[in-house]
Structure 1
Amino acid sequence: MTAAVFTRQDVQHVSDVRLIALAKLHAWRGDSRYEYGVARMKDIVAACEEIIARGPEDLRHIIEHVPTAEAAKQELRLSVFGK
């Protein structure tokens, strides 16, 4: 069995699905009524990220994890003031 190679269009569609799932995770955050939905959305996000990782290399930035704004501010403070 050979690994699938996904096109730019495939990755764009999958990225849209991932964004929808991330939005639902954000909306449902902390509400115990959505426990099952949160678990499924996390599965969807993971599956989408796997597909995106198999797509064109120039689109892999979509799934790169970036630091939070607070972490970036802290790193900048450390580099400037050394504290």
Structure 2
Amino acid sequence: MNSWQTWHTGKDGWLVNDVDRDRVVALLRDAYVDGRLSPDDFDDRVTRALGAVTRADLNAALTGLAVVGGQAHGSRIAAGETLA
């Protein structure tokens, strides 16, 4: 195993693709439309999501958002949780 593979162990280290990034951007867009994100916060989170390399990066863009319309209705996405 090379150093790149060694570093990317565990699910938060898994690499993401454009489909994963687009899914998170869609969640952020919904949060913005619902009024749960300010324009500046939305821009910052979308920028982080589009630049994400790992699942941890995507999860960081979602941290603190309330889940609406999902299974965990009304709960918040904590730092250790994953939606990506």
TM-score, length-scaled by structure 2: 0.34
Q: Larger RCO: Structure 1 or Structure 2 (Cα < 8 Å, ≥ 6 residues apart)?
A: 1
More helix by share: 1
TM normalised by structure 1 equals: 0.34
